[in-house]
Each structure stands twice: as C-alpha cells, then as structure tokens.
Amino acid sequence: MAILDILEFPDPRLRTRAKKIENVTQKITALADDMLETMYAAPGIGLAASQVNVHQQLIVIDISEDKTQPLVLINPKIVHREGEIESDEGCLSIPGYYEPVVRSEIIQIKALDREGKKFDLQADELLAICIQHEMDHLAGKLFVDYLSNTKRQIIRKKLLKLQKQRT
Ligand code: NI
C-alpha cells in the first residue's frame, strides 16, 4: 500500500469529470486500498479518486470513530433523495476551511463494491453528506462551488499563497 498525493484547490485537475469503471480489476482494488490508507493518514473521512489525480468513479469513505468500517463505492449513482440538511463541510483538497453546505438528508444509492459486486445503500446524515461530497468530486465539483464568489476567491488566494510557500 502507499500514501498518495492529494491535489489541492485550485488545481484545475480537480475539475476533471471521472469516467465510469468498466472492470473492477486488481489495479482498481489496489487503488482503493491506497486511497483508504491515504484517507486514514490525512486524516479524513472520505476521498475520491479525482483527488489523487485518477479520474475514475471510485470513492472511499469511513465515518466510524475507530476507523474500522471502510466503504468503497465504484460508479455510485443516487437513485433517490429526501429532505435537506446543512452542515459545515471540509475537504482534504481544501485544507483548513469549513463552510456550511446544504445537501439531501437521505439518499439511496446504487454502486459496485471493492469486489465489483452491485449493491444498494440507504444513507442519512453524515454518511449521506459524505457520499454527496465525494460524488461531487467525481463530477469535478468542490464544496467551495456552493459558496459565494467572494468567499471562494478568498479561499483560493489564501491556498495559492500557502502552496507557493511550500515549493
Ligand atoms: Ni472533498
């Protein structure tokens, strides 16, 4: 396993639309494992392949407190949504910022698991929010897109400055 580099906003590669995974090969399984390791190390509760510059529809999530319930979603699709919930969201690609975003409160999804098997999942609250946030990444979308232009520009400038200082 390996820790992967996470792209940071405003890196334009985060805007790439992820492609559907046709075959869940060993390469995909290995990527899912590396992404889980990267997410746990960060630490975070969700990571989309887009964030490690792989533009395929793969997400990993673990919202459990003891980090023992990894969830791998391949080609996830929301088939039903209900209600609204607002919460402060953060993102490993936008370090240090937490802003309120409105999401569906309950969602039903269809996806493939780590072995490529189809499954259905109903999620609410934090898990539902997390899945929607990660699915946005696959569509090239970030949580800052829900904020005002002004707010997004401030975050963009501050992160660019930090990124420059690092190199
Ligand atoms: Ni994110």
Position 1 confidence tier, pLDDT thresholds 50, 70, 90 = confident
Q: What is the mean pLDDT of the chain?
A: 97
What average pLDDT does the segment 128-147 reach?
98
pTM over 0.95: yes
43 prior amide bond cis, ω within 30: yes
> Is residue 65 annotated as part of the catalytic site, yes or no?
no
Taking ligand 1, which is a single-atom ion, which protein residues have CB atoms under 5 Å away? 91
Which residue among the candidates 8, 89, 99, 134 is catalytic per the annotation? 134
Q: For residue 66, how far is its CA from the centre of ligand 1 (angstroms)?
A: 21
Question: Which ranges in the chain belong to alpha helices (H)?
Answer: 26-41, 125-138, 149-166
pLDDT tens profile 87-115 = 999 999 999 999 999 999 999 999 999 99
pLDDT tens profile 58-84 = 999 999 999 999 999 999 999 999 999
Cross-strand partners of 82: 106
Provide the percentage of residues in the chain whose pLDDT is more than 90: 98
Q: Does 123 score more than 90 pLDDT?
A: yes
